[in-house]
A and B are shown apart, each in its own frame.
Chain A
Amino acid sequence: MKKQLPVAEGVFTWSSGKPHLIGSRCEACGEYFFPKVKLCQNPDCPDKSRIKETILSRIGRLWSYTIQYYKPPFPYQGPAPLMIGLVELPENLKVMGQLTNCEEQDLRIGMEMELVIEKLFEDQQGNEVLTWKFRPTRDATKEGSSSERKQGNL
Chain B
Amino acid sequence: MEKEVAILGVGAHPWGKFPGKDFVDLAVAAANKAFEDAGVGWKQIQAMVCAETMWAGRAGLYAGQFISRALGSRGIPAVNVENACASGAVALAIAAMMIKSGMYDIVLAIGGDVSPEGFYPALPGEDPLSPDSLRWTAIGATNPVHWALDCCRRMKEYGTTEIHLAKVKAKNSRYGASNPLARYKKVFTVEEVLNSPMVAFPLRLYEICATSDGGAAVILSSMEVARRYTRKPTILAAACLGNLVYGDPTVVIGSHIAYKVNSSVPMLSESVESSRRAYQEAGIGPQELDLAELPDNSSWHELVYMEALGFCRPGEAETLLDQGATELGGKLPVNVSGGFSSFGEAVAAQGLLQVHEIVRQLRGEAGPRQVENAKVGLAHAYGAQGNAGTIIVKR
**Residues of A contacting B121 in the complex (Cβ-Cβ under 8 angstroms):** 73-74
Q: Are B140 and A72 in contact (CB under 8 A)?
A: yes
**Residues of A contacting B122 in the complex (Cβ-Cβ under 8 angstroms):** 73-75
A95 to B121, CA, bound (A): 22
**Residues of B contacting A132 in the complex (Cβ-Cβ under 8 angstroms):** 138
Q: Does A11 contact B (CB under 8 A)?
A: yes
B102-128, CB under 8 A of A: which get 1 and which 0? 000000000000000011011000001
A70 to B199, CA, bound (A): 6
Interface residue tally on A, bucketed by range = 35 or more
Q: Does B136 contact A (CB under 8 A)?
A: yes
Within the complex, the shortest CB–CB distance from A112 to chain B, in Å, comes to 15
Those of B48-68 within 8 Å (CB) of chain A: none
**Residues of B contacting A55 in the complex (Cβ-Cβ under 8 angstroms):** none
Within the complex, the shortest CB–CB distance from B129 to chain A, in Å, comes to 6
Q: Are B153 and A68 in contact (CB under 8 A)?
A: no
Q: Does B235 contact A (CB under 8 A)?
A: no
Q: Are A68 and B131 in contact (CB under 8 A)?
A: no
A85 to B119, CA, bound (A): 19
Q: Does B257 contact A (CB under 8 A)?
A: yes
A98 to B131, CA, bound (A): 15
Those of A23-65 within 8 Å (CB) of chain B: 23, 33-36, 41-43, 63-65
Q: Are B129 and A11 in contact (CB under 8 A)?
A: yes
Interface 9-residue window, one of B1-9, B78-86, B258-266: B258-266
**Residues of B contacting A8 in the complex (Cβ-Cβ under 8 angstroms):** 128-129, 133-134, 137-138
Q: Does B142 contact A (CB under 8 A)?
A: yes
Within the complex, the shortest CB–CB distance from A81 to chain B, in Å, comes to 9
B362-386, CB under 8 A of A: which get 1 and which 0? 0000000000000000000000000
Those of A1-18 within 8 Å (CB) of chain B: 7-11
What are 7 A-B pairs with beta-carbon distances under 8 A?
A68-B144, A70-B118, A72-B136, A73-B122, A76-B136, A93-B261, A96-B258
Which B residues have a C-beta under 8 Å from some C-beta of A?
118-119, 121-122, 128-131, 133-142, 144-145, 148-150, 152-153, 156, 197-202, 246-247, 249, 251, 257-262
Q: Are B135 and A96 in contact (CB under 8 A)?
A: yes
Within the complex, the shortest CB–CB distance from A90 to chain B, in Å, comes to 10
**Residues of B contacting A120 in the complex (Cβ-Cβ under 8 angstroms):** 138
Q: Which of B140, B148, B258 has a CB less than 8 Å from the CB of A33?
A: B258
A69-B136 in contact given A8-B129, A10-B129, A86-B251 (Cβ < 8 Å): no
**Residues of B contacting A72 in the complex (Cβ-Cβ under 8 angstroms):** 119, 136, 140-142
Q: Which of B149, B258, B259 has a CB less than 8 Å from the CB of A84?
A: B149
Q: Are B142 and A11 in contact (CB under 8 A)?
A: no
Q: Does A102 contact B (CB under 8 A)?
A: no
Q: Are B258 and A82 in contact (CB under 8 A)?
A: no
A102-126, CB under 8 A of B: which get 1 and which 0? 0010000100000000001000000
**Residues of A contacting B129 in the complex (Cβ-Cβ under 8 angstroms):** 8-11, 35-36
Q: Are A42 and B246 in contact (CB under 8 A)?
A: yes
A97 to B153, CA, bound (A): 16
A9 to B133, CA, bound (A): 13
A84-B140 in contact given A8-B129, A93-B259, A93-B261 (Cβ < 8 Å): yes
Q: Which of B119, B141, B258, B261 has a CB less than 8 Å from the CB of A70?
A: B119
Q: Which of A7, A36, A67, A94 has a CB less than 8 Å from the CB of B259?
A: A94
**Residues of B contacting A74 in the complex (Cβ-Cβ under 8 angstroms):** 121-122
* A45 nearest in chain B by CB position: B246
Q: Are A75 and B153 in contact (CB under 8 A)?
A: no
Q: Are A65 and B142 in contact (CB under 8 A)?
A: no
A98 to B145, CA, bound (A): 11
Within the complex, the shortest CB–CB distance from B273 to chain A, in Å, comes to 13
The 3 closest A-B pairs by CB, nearest first: A66-B148, A34-B258, A64-B153
A93-B138 in contact given A69-B200, A70-B199 (Cβ < 8 Å): no
